[in-house]
């Protein structure tokens, strides 16, 4: 087959759905990976195009491997991969957060990316190359009170991305990270509710007030950057961190 093939984890989340729509619209075959088949089926019906829906917990070695194998069995290769699945974990001070919560965030956000890289890179190398985009966060670039497991996990995936980029370069595999600021998805709603269950709207207003552009990103704005970085026009980009945050990392609004 001549059409290019993409694999996308966290496909039914806010950013994942926006990526899926763009990838299908660009004419690629898209392997959609997430936890719930009903949600995957619904997304595939909405996007149309050539999709393969797979349920997998990205933190599970066997399930992660099976996704890559199923994609290869169906399409023969994987040109682009988006390691985008993630969880925010609970809000709370370090001393009050159960270690099990820390472990689960690290399993999904770090081990999940590790396993994705470990299974995708040999397959891409055999096919002559490929491109991988990891979804980190501005939480991977700076600290944040009451969100330490998430912050640690998003810093860690930047380290993994850099190592994979160095290792993959000789096989023509590019690996990059996107670092979104606040994006209008379920995850930010959960973070707002975790910060102040009585008034999540006030939390959102306070976060927006601290962003130079004074708003959250639309998921499609993030998807547009992810798809650009994955594509051939970004052919000289590897090992890089791409921030998309309405100016948040530039500095605080006075």
Ligand X SMILES: NC(=O)c1ccc[n+]([C@@H]2O[C@H](COP(=O)([O-])OP(=O)(O)OC[C@H]3O[C@@H](n4cnc5c(N)ncnc54)[C@H](O)[C@@H]3O)[C@@H](O)[C@H]2O)c1
Q: Which residues bind ligand X (CB under 6 A)?
A: 9-10, 12-16, 34-35, 57-59, 84-87, 108, 112, 135, 137, 180, 182-183, 185-188
CB of 106 or CB of 165, closer to ligand X: 106
CB of 7 or CB of 187, closer to ligand X: 187
- For the CB of residue 245, give the shortest distance to ligand X in the complex, in Å: 9
CB of 107 or CB of 131, closer to ligand X: 107
- For the CB of residue 172, give the shortest distance to ligand X in the complex, in Å: 26
How far is it, in rounded angstroms, from Cα 169 to Cα 69?
23
Residue pair 49/21 in contact (Cβ under 8 Å)? The answer is no
DSSP string covering 105-160: HHIIIIIHHHHHHHHHHHHHHHHT-EEEEEE--GGGTS--TTBHHHHHHHHHHHHH
- For the CB of residue 201, give the shortest distance to ligand X in the complex, in Å: 16
- For the CB of residue 2, give the shortest distance to ligand X in the complex, in Å: 30
Residue pair 17/43 in contact (Cβ under 8 Å)? The answer is yes
Residue pair 188/91 in contact (Cβ under 8 Å)? The answer is no
CB of 142 or CB of 186, closer to ligand X: 186
Check if 216 is active-site. no
Helix, strand, coil % in the chain, rounded to nearest 5: 55, 15, 30
* Active-site residue, from 75, 150, 216, 236: 150
Neighbours of 206 (CB within 10 A): 13
| Catalytic positions | 150
């Amino acid at each position: 087959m001549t059409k290019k093939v993409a694999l996308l984890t966290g496909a039914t989340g806010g950013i994942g759905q926006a990526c899926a729509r763009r990838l299908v619209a660009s004419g690629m075959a898209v392997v959609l990976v997430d936890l719930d088949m009903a949600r995957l089926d619904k997304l595939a019906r909405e996007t149309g195009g050539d999709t393969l829906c797979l349920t997998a917990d990205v933190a599970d070695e066997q399930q992660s491997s099976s996704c890559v194998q199923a994609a290869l069995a169906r399409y023969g290769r994987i040109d682009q991969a988006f390691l985008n699945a993630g969880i925010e974990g609970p809000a709370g001070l370090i001393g009050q957060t159960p270690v099990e919560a820390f472990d689960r965030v690290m399993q999904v956000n770090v081990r999940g990316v590790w396993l994705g890289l470990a299974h995708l890179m040999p397959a891409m190398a055999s096919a002559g190359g490929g491109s991988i985009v990891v979804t980190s966060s501005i939480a991977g670039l700076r600290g944040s009170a009451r969100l330490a497991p998430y912050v640690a996990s998003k810093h860690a995936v930047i380290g993994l991305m850099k190592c994979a980029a160095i290792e993959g370069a000789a096989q023509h595999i590019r690996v990059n990270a996107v670092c979104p600021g606040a994006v209008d998805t379920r995850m930010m709603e959960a973070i707002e509710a975790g910060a102040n269950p009585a008034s999540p709207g006030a939390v959102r207003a306070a976060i927006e007030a601290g962003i130079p552009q004074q708003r959250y990103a639309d998921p499609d704005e993030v998807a547009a950057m992810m798809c650009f970085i994955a594509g051939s026009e970004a052919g000289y980009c590897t090992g890089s961190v791409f921030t998309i945050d309405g100016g948040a990392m530039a500095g605080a609004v006075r």
